[in-house]
Structure formats: structure tokens, C-alpha cells
Structure 1
């Protein structure tokens, strides 16, 4: 890759790593489920008006929106709202990669090599270390919610692969049309109209400014700018060249949370995070697709299990 392309890839990793700080800021004011609905509504309206609908089967577009947009951010935002550290969330969310590998084997008949299986086991071991450490410090629930978010991202990966759109960024943007209504319904049912109204009523105060800044960051810089650059890079270079730069995201996330929020992950948590990232790299390098014999969905390339190439990161 030319130096300027390397710098662009690093820039995207930084933008996505800082996303977790932006989410943290927004969660200080808005209820988590309503925040997901609001985030994607702000993307959905201009997308419907300005972006052509992707040339992809509707079921995979909806599946991508439900997996990546709805389930991932439902788990991530609830987990962070329940106290899971922002920096550590950027590490645990990388579990989406081994989840994608396993789901690819189970649902798409992809072959998993011994090296790939080792990578999955290493990543799972890392998750277990983080989970046990967090459970001893607080509880299992916030950790499990973030892991649920990683599973949602993995399901979105499979749906985006099967969608195989000629313009992946259009799929990424149109995915935002799916989450707002189900997330708003969940917010009203679980968080209550009163909680939502209180957040909106106070949203014009000075205290709400960081929350709006964080929301603007996730929508504009994290999604539109970050995903736009990433998709362009993936078109210019082989996926195996670009995808490893996504491993910088948790590094940026942990360092930024340490510097800005004063988060100090325990040694075992960091060790577990290193195992997760190492397992992701092993599993991603070893994954090889095997076309199913019974249909023609196999014309698309294999999912980029370590790369949020078709999606706004966090």
C-alpha cells in the first residue's frame, strides 16, 4: 500500500477507536436503547432521500440491519450503560471475528482449518478471561451484553456477504433504515416513554452538549467518513492487506479510554484482550470459504471476519 493509503487506514482505525468515547458521552444523557434508535434514524432519513437503494436481496439487507445494526448496538450500548468500560468494550467486540468464522462453518458450510480452529479457541479463552475478571469485579451481565453485540455483528457479516452488493457503502448506509423502528419500540417498552421524554426535554441544555457531540461523531465521522474511506481502501487493495488495520481499533479504544476517562483495565483483562485479538488474527488468516452445493449464493466473496469493511464501526 502507498504511504498515504496506510495513513488513511490508520486514520479509520483511530476514528473507530474513538467511537467508544463518543458512545460513552452520549450514554451519559440518553437511554441506551433509545440512543440506538436515534443514532440510526439520523442516518436513515438522509440515506432514504439521497442514496440509491443497494442492488441486493431485501432479506439480506434486512438481515444485515437486524444483525449488525440492531442486535450489535443493542448489546453494546446496554452493556456500556450497565458499566462495561469503553476501552474494554472495543476489545471484546472483536469477538465478532471468531463468531463469524464459526457461523460460516455452521450456516454456510465453510471449511475451518486446524489453524482457524486454534484461533477461535484462543479468542474464546481470551473472552473467558475477560468475563471472569469482570464478573469478580462487578457482574457477568455487562460483559455478556457486549458479547451479544459481537454475535450480532457476526450475523451481520454473514448477511452482508450474502447480499454481495456492487456498492458496499450503499448497503452500509441502507442498513440504517432497519434499526430505528424496532429499537424505538423496545425503548418505549423497556425504558418507558417517561425516560425517553425526560432525555429529550433536557436535550437542549448545556449538560447535553457532550451527548450530542458524541452522537454527531458516531454518525458523521465513525460511520460516513470512516466507512467511506474503508470501503474505498478495500476496493483498492486485497482484503488481507487492509483488514489487519482494524486490529488497531481496540488499541486506540483502550488508550483513549485510559487517557480521557481514566479507565485502568486489570492485568488479566488486558491479557484476555490480547488473546482475543491474537485469536482473531489466527482465525481470520486461516478461514477459507467452501461453496454450498445446493444454491448459487456462493458467487460472493468470503466474509472479512476481522474487518468492518461494510459497516460503521461501533
Structure 2
């Protein structure tokens, strides 16, 4: 996404990468013999505002203001917010192990951010955190109210992307000057963000959210910035420093604590 900002204003880029995938998925619905009727507005509009407008919009603004790596890690504080929201609003009970895992993950994220050596602008930090909170809020809304309507996953994904994209477009028209420089590189970046990241990525996330407990789905996404750091090391030679290594270890430890069967953490009975 950062690549696209050299040729486009952030909210304009965010709107195109959500409206077009939403339209494509809606056009796909009849081919899959699924209904094109939008979900109830009282359900889909809050979801669109949180999951698409808030998450994508704040992410694009954070990337415009700051570095990619630290921004991504701050956005992916989402699992911590989501787990706490699920505990409060969905009454998903958290054991002492879960609370400890949240603490361990928070320490890991702090080490990966390394605020004492990362020159991330305050505005970028705030936008990235708001993005993670909006993503968590949208996921909570989908988890809490989605089952009440028994809607098709592709239908929900398509319409929330479309409506959220229109909210982004309105924000872009109000807050930014139009800027899109259609170079071959920008066209490739747009395509990549439309299909693999936009349409397919959101479908996969809603599938995971629908089929797994909230805390498992949320904490599983922490693998994304971790894999990103490791992939940059393998592919680009960007070797993680000591704090990033320690952060990865803390995050993986937190994942094990969340995902491992509970009975393995119980002391043996006589």
C-alpha cells in the first residue's frame, strides 16, 4: 500500500482499493447463485464504517505519515483490542493464561516497535492505533450481530467494502486534493490491492472470524507482522535487530499460550 502513495493521495487510494473489489464481488454474486440484495443497513453500515472506512482510511493516513514497519505493527495491536472487546461485550471468558498472553503480546509489540529508536511521527502512531481499534470494532460487530441475520459471507464482504469505500471517497473529496498518477507501477499496485489484498483478503478474514473463537482469530493475525519481518530478512536481507527478534519470540509465545489446548496448561491431577 505504501508504494501506491507515491502516485496517489492516501484517501483517494483507499477508496479505489475498496470500492472496486466491492463491485467485483457484487457482480460475482449472481454467477455463484447468491443474492445481490444488500444486508440490512443497521448491520452493514456500522460494519462498513469500522471495518473498511476506519481501518483502511486510518491505515492509509498512517502510511502517508510514517514508516511501514512500525505502522504495520501498531495496526496489528488489533488482537489485543479485539480480545478485550470480546471479553467485555461478547462475554468470552478470559482465563489467567489469556490475560498473561495479552501481556506477553503487548511486550512483544513494544519490543518490535522499539520507540526509543524508531522515528515514527506522532500522527502516524495515532492513525495506526485508530486503525487497529476500528478493525477490532468491526470484527466485534460482525461476530456479535452477523449470526443474527444468517447472511452469505461473500454478500456481507462485498457490500461492506462498497459502502465503506464510498464513505472513504466522500472523505477524500472533502479533505484531499485529487491526485492519481497512472503509471505502470501504480497500475500494478492498484491491481494487487484490488484482488489479492482487497477481495480475497477480506473474504479470508471474514471466514476465519466466522469459524474461530474471537481471541484465536485475533491473535492468529499477529503472525502477519511477524512473518513480514522474517520475509524481509529472507528476501530483502533486512536482518531483524535484537529487539525485533525478542519481539517475535514474545509474540510467538503469546500465540502458543492462546492456541494451545487448555488441558496442556492444567496441572496433572492425582
Which range, TM-score by smaller chain? 0.7 to 0.9
- 1:148 matched to 2:123? The reply is no
SS state of the match for residue 112, structure 1? coil
Instruction: Name the CA distance, whole Å, in 1 between partners of 2:169 and 2:206.
Output: 29
Gaps of 5+ in 1: 1-22, 288-314
Alpha-carbon contact 1:75-1:148 (below 8 Å) kept: yes
SS at match of 1:272: helix
Pairing 1:32-181 to 2, within 5 Å after superposition: 32-51=10-29, 52-53=35-36, 56-85=39-68, 87-133=69-115, 136-161=118-143, 162-164=145-147, 165-181=150-166
User: Which residue number in structure 2 is paired with residue 254 of structure 1?
Assistant: 229
Q: Which residue of 2 aligns with 1:293?
A: none
With normalisation by structure 1, the TM-score equals 0.66
What TM-score comes out, normalization by structure 2 length? 0.75
Contact 1:67 / 1:153 at 8 angstroms: preserved in 2? Answer: yes
Q: CA RMSD in A?
A: 3.4
Residues 245 and 112 (structure 1), Cα distance of their counterparts in 2 relative to 1, 3 Å cut? closer
Cα offset for 1:264? Answer: 5.5
Distance 1:47 1:170, change over 3 A: same
Contact residue 139 and residue 209 of structure 2 kept, 8 A: no
**What is the CA-CA distance between 1:132 and the residue it aligns to?**
4.7
Match of 1:211 in 2: 186
> Does structure 2 conserve the Cα–Cα contact (< 8 Å) formed by 1:258 and 1:264?
yes
1:279 positional shift:
3.2
Q: Distance in 2 between matches of 1:31 and 1:152?
A: 21
Q: SS where residue 94 of structure 2 aligns?
A: coil
Q: Distance in 1 between matches of 2:252 and 2:122?
A: 21
* Residues 236-275 of structure 1 aligned to structure 2 (within 5 Å): 239=212, 246=221, 248-258=223-233, 265-275=240-250
CA distance in 1, matches of 2:204, 2:231: 22
| Cα deviation code 1:88-109 (max 9, x no counterpart) | 5444433211211101122233
1:220 aligned onto 2:195: yes
Q: Specify the SS of the correspondent of 2:115.
A: helix
d(CA) in 2 for partners of 1:57, 1:65: 12
SS of match in other structure, 1:133:
coil
How many angstroms does 1:216 deviate by?
Answer: 0.9
Distance (Å, rounded) in 1 between the aligned partners of 2:20 and 2:238: 30
Shift of 1:172: 1.6
Aligned position for 2:172: 187
